[in-house]
Structure 1
Amino acid sequence: MKAMLNDTVLAEAPESDLIRIEGNWYFPPASVSASVLVSSPTAYTCSWKGECSYYTVTTDGNELADRAWAYLTPTPSAIERVGSDFSGYVAFWKEVRVSD
């Protein structure tokens, strides 16, 4: 599976390595191109997943604020609910196309 913004690959991993939560594909941290993500100051806490870290996606000189996010330390109950440890896995907002 690939996460793409225009012609830029943001992340790539086999579907079996991804985790699907609430309709979003979460990519393993090692599969994400670190050069396209910049930490954002935006703060959010999900009632069941825990504290969320947002990232600005930067490609070809364009910046899309808060279009990627990760739960660096999800709650133990969230890991149990999802059935997999998704610590640090990265998901992308709608402008990013995820396909196989």
Structure 2
Amino acid sequence: MSMAEAWWNDTLIATSDDIVTVEGNAYFPRESVKDEVLRDSATTTVCPWKGTAHYYTLAVDGAENRDAAWYYPEPKDAAKEIAGRVAFWRGVEVR
């Protein structure tokens, strides 16, 4: 697979050639996301087949993008391929 990058606020926040795509979302390995841009969020949502999603707020150059990244710490069996991975939305460009 070719290299995928996630950009927000003119900053590269993740890069990897190991992407899993689920429902049109690119899931990056957690270790490929820059630690310094992630802030823990208390937000969670539930997907019937993936499980409970937890969120990160992105912080870049003093700007914040609330709950713009999500991950499944314990995905259900049907979604086990996204364990240890992070996806983005809310203006994050994946290319």
Same fold (TM over 0.5): yes
Work out which of the residue numbers 12, 15, 40 in structure 2 matches 1:12.
15
Matched, 1:86 2:89: no
Letter in 2 for 1:12: T
- Per-residue CA deviations over 1:38-84 (Å, capped at 9, x if unaligned) read 110112111100011101010010011100000111001223xxxxx
Aligned to 1:59: 60
Structure 1 alignment gaps of length 5 or more: 80-84
- Per-residue CA deviations over 1:6-61 (Å, capped at 9, x if unaligned) read 321110011xx100011110000110001101110112111100011101010010
SS at match of 1:48: coil
Per the TM alignment, residue 87 of structure 1 is displaced from its structure 2 partner at its CA by 0.8
Structure 2 alignment gaps of length 5 or more: none
The TM-score, its normalising length taken from structure 2, stands at 0.91
Q: How does 1:20-59 map to 2 (within 5 A)?
A: 20-59=21-60
Paired residue total: 92
Provide the alpha-carbon RMSD of the alignment. Answer: 1.0
CA contact (8 A) 2:65 2:90 kept: no
The TM-score, its normalising length taken from structure 1, stands at 0.87
Q: Distance in 2 between matches of 1:44 and 1:10?
A: 23
Bigger fraction of residues in strand: 2
Query: Which consecutive segments of 4 or more residues in structure 1 shift more than 2 A?
Result: none
